[in-house]
Amino acid sequence: MTTTNEGAIRTGADQRPDARHDARLDWFRDARFGMFIHWGLYAIPAGAWRGQEIAGIGEWIMLRARIPVAEYERLADGFNPVRFDAEAWASLAAQAGAKYLVITAKHHDGFSMFDSQVTEYSIVKATPFKRDPMQELAAACQRHGVKFCFYYSQTQDWHHPGGDGNDWDYDEAKKDFDGYVQNYVKPQVRELLTNYGPIGLIWFDTPKRMTTDQSRELVDLVHSIQPVCLVNGRIGNGLGDYAESRDNVIPDEQLHSDWEVPATINDTWGYKASDLNWKSPAQLVRKLVDCASKGGNYLLNVGPTAEGVIPSPSIERMHAVGEWLRANGESVYGTRPGPIQGLDWGRTTQRGATTFLHVFEWPTDGQLKIPGIVKSARLLAGGTTLPIRREGDGSVIDARNVTPDVIDTVIVLD
């Protein structure tokens, strides 16, 4: 484990002895699966600028192409996502089996995707769309029992003169970063926690130049408005309610702190037309199970288009994960890391005295060798009991007659 402030797993949760008993984290600890949405003006260029394909993740196009503020701002004039359907997005999250939804209120490009009194540079004030999609999503998520959460880029803001990251319009040395935090970030965070009902968590990112005081003040602000709202570890300086792993990096081993990994479904967060490198349903489910087996949550991203549509390959994959979870969710939700770690062909999770053995790679001879003594084994789907025999210090489950689930076959062990 490291304590870098760039979003790696930090030790903060371990430093607070009562962290595991904090009831505010109960829902998060049981959720195991969330849906991330990166949506903003960057969906319009969708990875290309002036006919040039821009390398890297889609939402970074303003920085990668060094687009001047005055030019990037004009994207707002053409942002009219008339096909946006909050009900469809919340329903997708629910059908996928995601227990919480995190959406970009403001990403590094600085554009507010919510109604803000602090700036004119928002979806309500600067676009022909004029609606506040966050208001609609908050209501839709509530209807579907999905916890509504915000991503907010507190450090990088390539539009605000005091924000971090834009050195092509502004002189980094002359920036009033603290003024930006006090007079822009804080009032916006206050709006997000005041105007949209209960917020499950606020997802901050890339702490970079945040000072300990600035991080602490933001955490305190969040909790002063919504005491049970969680703050992720990327608030910086070892603060926050749980640890955030690096983007797309699932830790190698089980962790004892609460943690989450943000993950892409292809190779971008914000919509990028050319990125068709979709992970398969089996890869996605196995990553989710891998996280659960190590005590963490999997926050899987989709990037809607500028019309407000989630790309159909993403929808299909979310549905596939949901289909697997409908049959096998008992082995994921509310589970804790299982007793057998480090298997190369599968994972374990557990709830109380019940262990769930997740088989990813099926042995060709149908004989599953388990370290330790297993008393009973049955398939989670269908309930068929499987014969067990002792072999040395371990047990062997005879699964020759099982038709494996190509994604992950779950066996319940007692």
Binding mask 189-228 for ligand H79 (x = CB under 6 A): ----------------xx----------------------
| Cα(147)–Cα(90) distance, integer angstroms | 10
| Cα(264)–Cα(31) distance, integer angstroms | 19
CB of 82 or CB of 249, closer to ligand H79: 249
CB of 63 or CB of 412, closer to ligand H79: 63
| Cα(110)–Cα(26) distance, integer angstroms | 32
Place of tokens 């005295």: 353
Q: Is 29 helix (H, G, I), strand (E, B) or coil?
A: helix
Which of 29, 64, 319, 336 is in the footprint of ligand H79 by CB under 6 A?
64
Query: Is 247 near ligand H79 (CB under 6 A)?
Result: yes
Query: Is 262 near ligand H79 (CB under 6 A)?
Result: yes
CB of 59 or CB of 73, closer to ligand H79: 59
CB of 208 or CB of 378, closer to ligand H79: 208
Q: Which amino acid is at 69?
A: V
CB of 57 or CB of 399, closer to ligand H79: 57
CB of 38 or CB of 99, closer to ligand H79: 38
Which of 258-268 are b and which e, b meaning 16 or more Cβ less than 10 Å from the residue's Cβ? Answer: bbbbbbbbbeb
| Cα(368)–Cα(22) distance, integer angstroms | 38
Query: Is 246 near ligand H79 (CB under 6 A)?
Result: no
The residue of the chain with the least Cβ separation from ligand H79 equals 56
Q: Say how many residues make up the chain.
A: 414
What is the strand order of the sheet 147-152 is part of?
230-231, 201-204, 147-152, 100-106, 33-37, 296-302, 259-263, 243-244
For the CB of residue 359, give the shortest distance to ligand H79 in the complex, in Å: 31
Query: Is 266 near ligand H79 (CB under 6 A)?
Result: no
Q: Supply 404's token pair.
A: 């494996």
| Cα(119)–Cα(169) distance, integer angstroms | 19
Query: Is 57 near ligand H79 (CB under 6 A)?
Result: yes
Query: Is 60 near ligand H79 (CB under 6 A)?
Result: yes
5 touches 246 (CB < 8 A): no
* Listed ranges 10-18, 58-66, 113-121, 289-297: which one lies at the site for ligand H79 (CB under 6 A): 58-66
Query: Is 157 near ligand H79 (CB under 6 A)?
Result: no
For the CB of residue 383, give the shortest distance to ligand H79 in the complex, in Å: 40
Query: Is 267 near ligand H79 (CB under 6 A)?
Result: no
Query: Is 59 near ligand H79 (CB under 6 A)?
Result: yes
What is the total count of residues that contact ligand H79 (CB under 6 A)? 11
* Listed ranges 54-62, 186-194, 307-315, 318-326: which one lies at the site for ligand H79 (CB under 6 A): 54-62
For the CB of residue 388, give the shortest distance to ligand H79 in the complex, in Å: 44
| Cα(340)–Cα(360) distance, integer angstroms | 14
Strand positions, DSSP E, 107-237: 147-152, 201-204, 230-231
CB of 47 or CB of 338, closer to ligand H79: 47
The 3-class secondary structure across 291-353, one letter per residue, is HHHCCEEEEEEECCCCCCCCCHHHHHHHHHHHHHHHHHHHHCCCCEECCCCCCCCEEEEEECC
Between residue 160 and residue 179, which ones bind ligand H79 under the rule CB under 6 A? none
Q: What is the dihedral of CA 361, 36, 48, 279, to 10 degrees?
A: 10
Query: Is 56 near ligand H79 (CB under 6 A)?
Result: yes
For the CB of residue 206, give the shortest distance to ligand H79 in the complex, in Å: 5
336 touches 350 (CB < 8 A): yes
Which of 72, 269, 298, 360 is in the footprint of ligand H79 by CB under 6 A?
269
| Cα(321)–Cα(302) distance, integer angstroms | 13
Which residues of this protein are in contact with ligand H79, per CB under 6 A? 38, 56-57, 59-60, 64, 205-206, 247, 262, 269
